[in-house]
């Protein structure tokens, strides 16, 4: 097992990883930007070091500073959390070259699954259904030609995209050249990679993902599935485990496809395979080679500490239980509490003057907030994840309504009221919804 771990991230996920390390007896090293000097993760870690200015590119994305610090303090592992450097193949390679374990599947797998057109080909080899699409496009003219062959609507995607960026839906040929330019510019700015491909756009689908845990001996377990269809601008707002109203036969097919893909690529540690589901059909969307924001709902249902097992499998420890021993039967829901103005959903900032966290059995709030902390404009708007679990989905919705009504945050505008609308929406309560539900609920 590792003796000292550097957490190359901030906020809620850094706090989550530090807690796991403390429970495992691993010393922790926090890094922080000038804007995060008073961050909760800074005070929780055994050691903490400032690595740059407020902008992420000057601090949390500074590979040289992070790796140099890890070697200087004697850290034998780095946990990247999610976002930031979590799926950066170059950083994974540099860690390997310097003998530092990056908690993840390794540079090769990170690179292959991070290039979405290559991931599509690997999925095909594994027998996993994929939507009709292209390789990396040479120019807008090629995009228009292939889109005409596939049929509109299509979706243009950045090869290295994530977080809802680098995506455009195109419904007519007249729009594709402009959309191609927009995606190319956005991808180059956000990911430093302007590679673009396109796929058939399948409408009125559900977004269902399978949580995997794999070890170096080749054992791959499906820890359950999650429905992440409640999205705004391709960013998730609410997740639940398991996906409601999903036929068991289809659920097992999703598990089988996710496992087959992981074995095809030689996956190790924690990962998630995302699918589009419509009726009895499903298509591979992408694989996230990192810890997911929504891992918490799966932990609540299975009782398995996903962060701890991510670290253990990265250290070479074998998974001791079988697929049949993975617990199911309960239901969990997660609401992402974000700093935003209710009128236009734009990111909000401010100082937290009052914070009351909901309590009770099976209620959890993963956050780095505390009374007196400042929410700055430099990073993602996620403030925390409110998670509840109950024996049934209906009971979980009731519990979430209670938790939301109890949650108090003064000083920073947030989206609590928006989440309450979903808990009271008829389609959501019945579990009969798809990725278009946000437009219907919030219009």
Q: What confidence tens digit (pLDDT) does each residue in 104-157 have?
A: 999 999 999 988 889 999 999 999 999 999 989 999 999 999 999 999 999 999
Same domain, 63 and 152: no
CATH number, residue 15: 3.40.50.20
Question: 183 in a domain, yes or no?
Answer: yes
Dihedral in degrees, nearest 10, Cα atoms 104, 110, 113, 118: -160
Could you tell me if 219 and 193 lie in one domain? no
The answer to whether the CB of 38 falls within 8 A of the CB of 326 is no
Task: Name the token pair of 296.
Answer: 């918490």
Write out pLDDT tens, residues 176-212: 999 999 999 988 887 778 899 999 999 889 999 999 9
229 and 144 fall within a common domain: no
Residue 116 within any structural domain of the chain: no
Q: What is the pLDDT of residue 163?
A: 62
> Are residues 340 and 236 both part of a single domain?
yes
C-alpha 192/C-alpha 72 separation (Å) is 29
* Domain C-terminal end among 200, 216, 242: 200
Evaluate whether 66 touches 276 at the Cβ level (below 8 Å).
Answer: no
| 321 and 396 together in one domain | yes
- CATH code of the domain in which 188 resides: 3.30.1490.20
Share of the chain above pLDDT 70, in %: 99
At 233 the pLDDT is 80
Rounded distance, CA 277 to CA 208, Å?
7
pLDDT in tens, 255-306: 999 999 999 999 999 999 999 999 999 999 999 999 999 999 999 999 999 9
Q: String of b and e for 395-411 (b: at least 16 CB within 10 Å)?
A: ebbebbeebbeebebeb
Nearest to 215 by CA among 319, 108, 105, 315: 319
| Residue 161 confidence (pLDDT) above 70 | no
**Closest C-alpha among 122, 388, 410, 430 to residue 261:** 122
Let me know if residue 412 belongs to a domain.
yes
The label of the residue with tokens 């991230």 reads: 9
**Same-domain pairing of 60 and 84:** yes
Residue with tokens 């400042």: 374
Judge if the upstream peptide bond of residue 153 is cis by omega within 30 degrees of 0.
Answer: yes
Of the three residues 51, 83, 103, the one that is the final residue of a domain is 103
47 lies in some domain: yes
Are residues 89 and 40 part of one domain? Answer: yes
In a domain, 113, yes or no: no
State the total domains in the chain. Answer: 3
Residues taking part in catalysis? 290
Give the integer Cα–Cα distance in Å for 211 and 223.
Answer: 5
Give the pLDDT confidence score for residue 159 in this predicted structure: 85
Placement of tokens 């090769």 in the chain: 108
Domain-located, residue 120: no
If phi > 0 it is left, if psi is from -120 to 50 it is alpha, else beta; for residue 396 that is: alpha
231 and 335 co-located in one domain: yes
DSSP-H helix ranges across 369-415: 393-406
Tell me the pLDDT tens digit for each residue of 43-67: 999 999 999 999 999 999 999 999 9
| pLDDT tens digits for range 1-27 | 999 999 999 999 999 999 999 999 999
Query: Quick one: 417 and 276 in the same domain?
Result: yes
- 396 inside domain: yes
Whether residue 292 is found in the same domain as residue 395: yes
Say if residues 104 and 110 touch (Cβ distance below 8 Å).
yes
Same domain, 250 and 184: no
Is 275 among the domain residues?
Answer: yes
Structural domain that includes position 165: 132-200
| Pairwise CA distance, residues 43 & 47, whole Å | 8
pTM: 0.93
**Of 150, 177, 200, the domain-final residue:** 200
Q: Could you tell me if 348 and 221 lie in one domain?
A: yes
Report the CATH number at residue 274: 3.30.470.20
3-state secondary structure of 400: helix
Reduced DSSP (H G I as helix, E B as strand, rest coil) percent helix, strand, coil of the chain, to 5? 35, 30, 35
């Amino acid at each position: 097992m590792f003796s000292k771990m550097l957490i190359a991230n901030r906020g809620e996920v850094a706090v989550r990883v530090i807690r796991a390390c403390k429970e495992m007896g691993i010393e922790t090293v926090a890094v922080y930007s000038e804007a995060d000097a008073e961050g909760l993760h800074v005070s929780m870690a055994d050691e903490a070091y400032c690595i740059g200015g407020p902008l992420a590119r000057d601090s949390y994305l500074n590979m040289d500073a992070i790796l140099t610090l890890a070697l200087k303090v004697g850290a034998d592992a780095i946990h990247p959390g999610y976002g930031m450097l979590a799926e950066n193949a170059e950083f994974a390679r540099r860690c390997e070259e310097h003998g530092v374990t990056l908690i993840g599947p390794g540079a090769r797998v990170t690179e292959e699954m991070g290039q979405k057109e290559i991931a599509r080909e690997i999925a095909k080899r594994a027998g996993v259904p994929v939507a009709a699409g292209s390789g990396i496009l040479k120019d807008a003219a090629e995009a228009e030609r292939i889109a005409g062959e596939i049929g509109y609507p299509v979706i243009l995607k950045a090869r290295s995209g994530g977080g809802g960026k680098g995506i455009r839906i195109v419904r007519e040929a007249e729009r594709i050249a402009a959309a191609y330019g927009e995606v190319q510019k956005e991808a180059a700015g956000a990911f430093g990679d302007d590679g673009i491909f396109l796929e058939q756009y399948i409408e009125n689908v559900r977004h269902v993902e399978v949580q995997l845990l794999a070890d170096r001996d080749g054992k791959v377990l499906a820890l359950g599935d999650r429905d992440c269809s409640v999205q705004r601008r391709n960013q998730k707002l609410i997740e639940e485990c398991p996906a409601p109203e999903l036929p068991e036969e289809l659920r097992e097919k999703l598990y089988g496809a996710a496992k087959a893909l992981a074995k095809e690529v030689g996956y190790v540690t924690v990962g998630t395979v995302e699918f589009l589901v419509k009726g009895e059909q499903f298509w591979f969307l992408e694989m996230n080679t990192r810890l997911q924001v929504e891992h918490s709902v799966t932990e609540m249902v299975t009782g398995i500490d996903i962060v701890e097992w991510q670290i253990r499998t990265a250290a070479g420890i074998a998974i001791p239980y079988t697929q049949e021993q993975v617990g199911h039967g309960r239901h969990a829901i997660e609401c992402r509490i974000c700093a935003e103005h209710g009128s236009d959903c734009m990111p909000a900032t401010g100082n937290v003057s009052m914070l009351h966290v909901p309590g009770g059995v099976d209620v959890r709030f993963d956050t780095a907030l505390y009374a007196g902390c400042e929410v700055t404009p430099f990073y993602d708007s996620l403030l925390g994840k409110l998670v509840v679990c109950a024996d049934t989905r209906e009971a979980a919705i009731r519990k979430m309504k209670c938790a939301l009504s109890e949650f108090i945050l003064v000083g920073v505008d947030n989206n609590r009221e928006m989440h309450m609308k979903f808990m009271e929406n008829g389609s959501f309560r019945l579990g009969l919804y798809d990725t278009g539900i946000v437009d219907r609920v919030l219009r």
